[in-house]
A and B are shown apart, each in its own frame.
Chain A
Amino acid sequence: MAPIDLLFTFLNGLSTGMAVFLVAAGLTLIFGILKILNFAHGAFFMIGAYVAYSITGSNPSSLWIFILAALVAGVVVAALGFVTDRIVLRRLRNVDEAYTLIATFAVVLICSGVVKLIWGVNYASVNPPPLLDGAIAAGPLFIPSYSLFVIIAGFAVYLALDIAIHRTWIGKLLQSVANDGWMSGLLGINVPFALTSTVIASFMLAGLAGGLLLANQTLSPILGESYLLLAFMAVIIGGLGNVRGAFLASVLLGVIESGSSLLIPNMPGMATYVFVILFLLAKPQGLLGGHRI
């Protein structure tokens, strides 16, 4: 195995990992602050992708249309997030987690039913926009420029989220709400507002991810599931609700996934699940467990 193969596999894995992180970002945010494991996150990711697809069509005319579509998808899904919070999540704040899972699973079914009714069950695919449809040659290595775009987008979202949570007053406020909602309320923080904002931000990330990752997959009503499982694993391995942990774990899972498709191409996903099981047996609290958010 040539070193060039390894490097290529690593870059592939990095790109997969960033894609996973784009989905996991919103998931870990909502878990860190609301302690809700949102099963419906993947479904809203899928809706984001479909909304962006409705704007760009199968051949996005320019990179800017592609990014604009992703932003619009983010806003639309954020609005859906507000509605979901009002109707569903707000009522589940103090209920056993099993019921939250079932309720969000019900939302998954509703989303998937609505997507089938609006967009049909046929597969659709979207080409990368011009500028991103080629590959960049770096010596003997050809990197698809869309992979590079996903890597950059993943880093950008991670940096924005990390700075927002650890360096701004909004972030500190959210951290205090996550640590002790009751006490924060006593100190005059509008806790329900903070929680609703978190939900909206998390859903916006889901929609944005749907739009940004639109190009490298077939669009179908089962799109939500494909990323959801990996994103879940990333959130859990990262230490539940920890953004930095989720970022590291996403990259790790991406590299493992891509490495295993090089070594054992017949069993896709196998290495990932084995890794998750062994990792959690050894370190149940996750990579950065204990540090909330």
Chain B
Amino acid sequence: MRLINTVLFAACLAVMFTIPLWADQGILFIAGLVLVEMVFALSWNLLFGFTGLASFGHAAFFAIGAYLCGYALRADIGAPFLLLILAAGVAGALAAVLTGIVLLRRTTGIHLAIFTLALAEILRILVGYSTALGREDGLASIPRPSLELGFASFDLASGEAYYWFLCIAASVIVGFLWLICHGPFGRILVSIRQDPERTTFMGINVPAYRLAAFTISGATSGMAGALYAPWAQIVTPESAHWIHSTQPMLASLLGGAQSFWGPVVGTVLFSIINYSTRNLVGLAELVIGVVLLVIVLAAPSGVVGLVHELRRRLTARVSHAGPGAEGKAGSKGKFVQEAA
């Protein structure tokens, strides 16, 4: 099983890195967007799938990062690109800390959803009003930077070069999130999602951990925005629109919110559906809607959960070892547990 996973993972990485060699410009652009949205979806799911907080205004953090990076690149302030990405992360984290301090102690559930949504909409209106940020038209023709590493310098102006940079940057951020989710910190977050009260009884400062998760999520969302700005070369207030906030939710639930790789699978599936139905207006939404509905009704643990369930059944039949295999699948989340 471990071998299969490793091979699968390596194959995905290989596909990701070789896309510029065999695909056309259109697909390359979509692949780059997938990488950005993937980081964004994973950031959102750190809150939802791991901590149990549903933010409906996550696009705000994304937009903060995107505007910061886009503005700095256009103004040509001479800061190294990597520093800009970090700055976008810090800005996202700051925004998350400020909102988190006010909101998290008071609200969860629907109220948190409405608060975050309203704040993001306020940001969108303010950005649309700001002349420096291009009002409703946004920042257009953002130049792609070059990467100065001290010992070497890479020009990222071409699509291929920036795409490879995106691959590496996204991998680093995803790796960082993976480490967070699979360490003691991640386990505490999961226990907060499952039962905040009991977690408090274990002596864990639940609000502090929630705030920490919110901050990390804001930071990585900001970085996703910073990666997006030079790729699309345009940033508009639409990036803060609540419709954009629903993107990571849909991707996470489609892929499986309770597993780390769910949002990644979901983002890729989304883009494939969108791309293959692009010729008939309305069909893409119809297909995505039906798929999403089937997933939520029939397999609430998403595509990844479905695959785990199938594997569990297969291995159970082969080895006749029910309980062990069941325990393995059950640890993936409460919905699988209930189903099993």
Which residues of A approach B to under 8 Å, CB–CB?
Answer: 37, 88, 91, 95, 97-99, 101-103, 105-117, 120-121, 221, 225, 229, 232-233, 236, 240, 266-270, 273-274, 276-277, 280-281, 284
Residues A107 and B293 in contact, CB atoms below 8 Å apart: yes
Chain B min CB distance to A288 (Å): 16
Residues A112 and B285 in contact in the complex (CB < 8 Å), given A88-B297, A99-B296, A105-B250: yes
Residues A102 and B292 in contact in the complex (CB < 8 Å), given A236-B114, A273-B125: yes
Q: Can you list 19 pairs linking A and B with CB atoms under 8 Å apart? A: A88-B297, A95-B300, A97-B110, A98-B48, A102-B253, A107-B289, A108-B289, A110-B286, A110-B290, A115-B282, A117-B280, A117-B281, A240-B110, A267-B129, A268-B125, A273-B122, A276-B118, A280-B114, A280-B115
| Closest residue of A by beta carbon distance from B135 | A266
Residues A280 and B111 in contact in the complex (CB < 8 Å), given A91-B297, A103-B296, A229-B242: yes
Residues A109 and B111 in contact, CB atoms below 8 Å apart: no
Q: Which chain B residues border A99 with CB–CB below 8 Å?
A: 253, 296, 300
- Which size class do B's interface residues fall under? 35 or more
Q: Which chain A residues border B48 with CB–CB below 8 Å?
A: 98
Additional 5 contacts, C-beta under 8 A, given A106-B296, A276-B114:
A102-B292, A103-B293, A103-B296, A273-B118, A273-B122
Q: Which of B5-13, B101-109, B218-226 contacts A (4 or more CB under 8 A)?
A: B101-109
Interface of B is mostly: helix
Q: Which chain A residues border B181 with CB–CB below 8 Å?
A: none
The reply to whether the CB of B126 lies closer than 8 angstroms to some CB of chain A is yes
Residues A109 and B126 in contact in the complex (CB < 8 Å), given A37-B110, A273-B118: no
Q: Which chain B residues border A273 with CB–CB below 8 Å?
A: 118-119, 121-122, 125
Chain B min CB distance to A123 (Å): 14
Chain A min CB distance to B270 (Å): 11
Chain A min CB distance to B228 (Å): 23
Residues B293 and A284 in contact, CB atoms below 8 Å apart: no
Residues B249 and A110 in contact, CB atoms below 8 Å apart: no
Residues B292 and A105 in contact, CB atoms below 8 Å apart: yes
Residues A102 and B288 in contact, CB atoms below 8 Å apart: no
Q: Which chain A residues border B242 with CB–CB below 8 Å?
A: 229
Interface of A is mostly: helix
Q: Which chain B residues border A269 with CB–CB below 8 Å?
A: 121, 125
| Closest residue of B by beta carbon distance from A39 | B246
Residues B119 and A117 in contact, CB atoms below 8 Å apart: no
In whole angstroms, how far apart are the Cα atoms of A120 and B117 in the complex? 29
The reply to whether the CB of B179 lies closer than 8 angstroms to some CB of chain A is no
The reply to whether the CB of B172 lies closer than 8 angstroms to some CB of chain A is no
Q: Which chain A residues border B102 with CB–CB below 8 Å?
A: 281
Q: Which chain B residues border A88 with CB–CB below 8 Å?
A: 293, 297
| Closest residue of A by beta carbon distance from B242 | A229
The reply to whether the CB of B284 lies closer than 8 angstroms to some CB of chain A is yes
In whole angstroms, how far apart are the Cα atoms of A109 and B282 in the complex? 9
The reply to whether the CB of B310 lies closer than 8 angstroms to some CB of chain A is no
The reply to whether the CB of B54 lies closer than 8 angstroms to some CB of chain A is yes
In whole angstroms, how far apart are the Cα atoms of A108 and B288 in the complex? 11
Q: Which chain B residues border A116 with CB–CB below 8 Å?
A: 281-282, 285
Q: Would you list which residues of chain B between 43 and 61 have a CB under 8 Å from chain A?
A: 48, 54
Chain A min CB distance to B215 (Å): 20
Chain B min CB distance to A226 (Å): 12
- Residue among A91, A106, A115, A266 with the highest chain B CB neighbour number at 10 A: A106
